[in-house]
Amino acid sequence: MKTIYFDNNATTKMDEQVLEEMKPYFSVLYGNPSSMHSFGGQIGHKIARAREQVAQLLGCEPSEIIFTSGGTESDNAAIKGTLAAVPNKRTIITTRVEHPAVLTVCRERENRSYSVIELSVDKDGQLDLSELDQQIDDDTAIVTIMYANNETGVIFPIEKIAQIVKAKGAVLHTDGVQAIGKIPLNLSKSNIDLLSISGHKLHGPKGVGVLYIRKGTRLSPYQLGGHQESGKRAGTENVPGIIGLGKACEIAQENIELENNKVKKLRDKLEKEILAKCPDSMVNGDTKNRLPNTTNISFEYIEGEAILLMLDQFGICASSGSACTSGSLEPSHVLRAMGVPFTAAHGSIRFSLSKYNTEDEIDYTIEKVPPIISRLRELSPFVPK
Ligand code: PLP
C-alpha cells in the first residue's frame, strides 16, 4: 500500500539532493574540522559554506548562526543561555501554545524562583498584543514566542511582537521551527534577537538545527568543552547534518514560492472538501494567518485517535495534536488554550502537507475521510440523538 504522508509538521522527507550532498561526509570526507591538517581543515570550509546557506535563507550574517542538535536544543539554549546571562532579571514571558521544547523549559524555571507569564490566546489562537506590551517590564529576562504553531499552523505577527519587545528593551526569542522554509523571513530587517530552526522540518536531516543569535545579544555558553561554534556550543560538529541542513536551506529558499502556491492550493482543496462532506466539522485556528501546509480539523463526537487508526488502514498518515504530545489521550494544550470545546478538541486531526504531496493523494483522502467519520459516529455514544 502506498504511504500518503500528511504529517510534515512532525517530520519531513529528506530531499534527495540533501542526501547526495551529505553522503561524502559519512565516508571519504570524515575529517574533524578542528584538526590542524588540511584533510580535516577542508571540512571547516564546507561548514562555513553551510553557515552561509542558512544565513542567506534567514537574511542574517553567517557569524550570527550556531549549529545545534535541533529545535529542542536551540530553544533550550536560547532560554537558558539568556537567563544565565542576565541573572538579576527573573521574569520569563511566553505563551500558552508554545511547543513543549519552550513551555517545559519555562515551567521548570518556576521551581528556580523565576516567574513565568504565559500569555493566553483567543479562539483563533491569536495573542492580544496589548497584554504582551503591559506585561514586559525591567524584570523581564526573555520573551519567547513562537513564529508559527506546530498544531494549528497559526502564524503570530512576529515583527509586531519584536517591535513591542524592542521598545521595552527586552530580548525576544522566537521558535521558528515550523515557519522557516515555509514562509519568508528577513532577519536583517527584523528585531528578533534569537531564533530556533530544525533541519528535519524543512526536508533536511534529523538531529541538526540552528540557533540564530543577533550580534550583540547576551547569551551564556550552555554547553562547555571545546571551542567549536565560537565557544558558544562545544562539541565536534555533526558534519553531515550541517552540510545537509545548509543544502536544505538553499532548496527551501528556492521553493518558498512553490510551497506557498502549490501546497496551499492542495491544503485548501483538502480542507474545503472535508468540511463540505463531513457535518459537524470545523477548522481550528486563524485561517487568514496560517502556514500554507497545515490544517487542523475537529470532528465532533469522535476520538482523533480512532480516526488516525482508520486513516492508517488506507496508508494515510496524519496526526492528532503534535507528534510530541500524541500517545496520551489528553486533548492538546494548544486547542484547550484556544477554548475549543472538549468534544471537538478530542476529535481533532492535523493534516500537514509538503511539496511532495500530489493532487491524486488529496482526491484519494477526500474519498476516504467522510465514510470513516460517518462510521465512527455510528459507533459513538456522544452523538446527540
Ligand atoms: N518547536 C516546534 C514548534 C516544533 O514543532 C518542534 C518539533 O516538533 C520542535 C520545536 C522540536 O524540534 P526538534 O524535533 O528538532 O527537536
Nearest CA to ligand 1 atom 5: 150
148: CA distance to ligand 1 center in Å? Answer: 11
Among 72, 79, 95, 322, residue to substitute to test ligand 1 (most atoms within 8 Å of Cβ): 72
135: CA distance to ligand 1 center in Å? Answer: 26
Phi, psi of 86 (to 5 degrees): -130, 65
Listed residue (219, 193, 214) closest to 76, CA to CA:
219
Angle made by CA atoms 296, 297, 300, in degrees to the nearest 5: 145
Q: Is 320 in the pocket of ligand 1 (CB under 6 A)?
A: no
**Residue 15: per-residue pLDDT:** 97
Q: Is 294 in the pocket of ligand 1 (CB under 6 A)?
A: no
Average pLDDT over all residues of the chain: 95
C-alpha atoms less than 13 angstroms from C-alpha of 214 in its C-beta half-sphere:
18
CA 152 → CA 156, 225, 295, distances in Å?
A: 11, 39, 6
Q: What is the pLDDT of residues 150-168, one digit of tens each?
A: 999 999 999 999 999 999 9
CA 303 → CA 4, 129, 203, distances in Å?
A: 21, 34, 30
C-alpha atoms less than 13 angstroms from C-alpha of 267 in its C-beta half-sphere:
29
Q: What is the pLDDT of residues 269-300, one digit of tens each?
A: 999 999 999 999 999 999 999 999 999 999 99
Q: Is 79 in the pocket of ligand 1 (CB under 6 A)?
A: no
82: CA distance to ligand 1 center in Å? Answer: 20
Among 177, 195, 294, residue to substitute to test ligand 1 (most atoms within 8 Å of Cβ): 177
149: CA distance to ligand 1 center in Å? Answer: 10
Task: Measure CA 163 to chain center.
Answer: 22
- pTM of the shown model: 0.96
Domains of the chain (ranges; CATH) run 16-254 (3.40.640.10), 256-379 (3.90.1150.10)
Among 76, 99, 326, residue to substitute to test ligand 1 (most atoms within 8 Å of Cβ): 99
pLDDT over 90 at 324, yes or no: no
Higher pLDDT, 227 or 325: 227
Q: Is 148 in the pocket of ligand 1 (CB under 6 A)?
A: no
Q: Is 99 in the pocket of ligand 1 (CB under 6 A)?
A: yes
Q: Which three cell numbers stand for residue 155?
A: 502564524
Query: Is 60 tagged catalytic?
Result: no
Q: What is the pLDDT of residues 252-264, one digit of tens each?
A: 999 898 778 999 9
369: CA distance to ligand 1 center in Å? Answer: 28
pLDDT over 60 at 205, yes or no: yes
14: CA distance to ligand 1 center in Å? Answer: 16
Atom of ligand 1 at shortest distance to CA of 198?
15
CB count, 10 Å around CB of 112?
A: 8
Atom of ligand 1 at shortest distance to CA of 73?
16
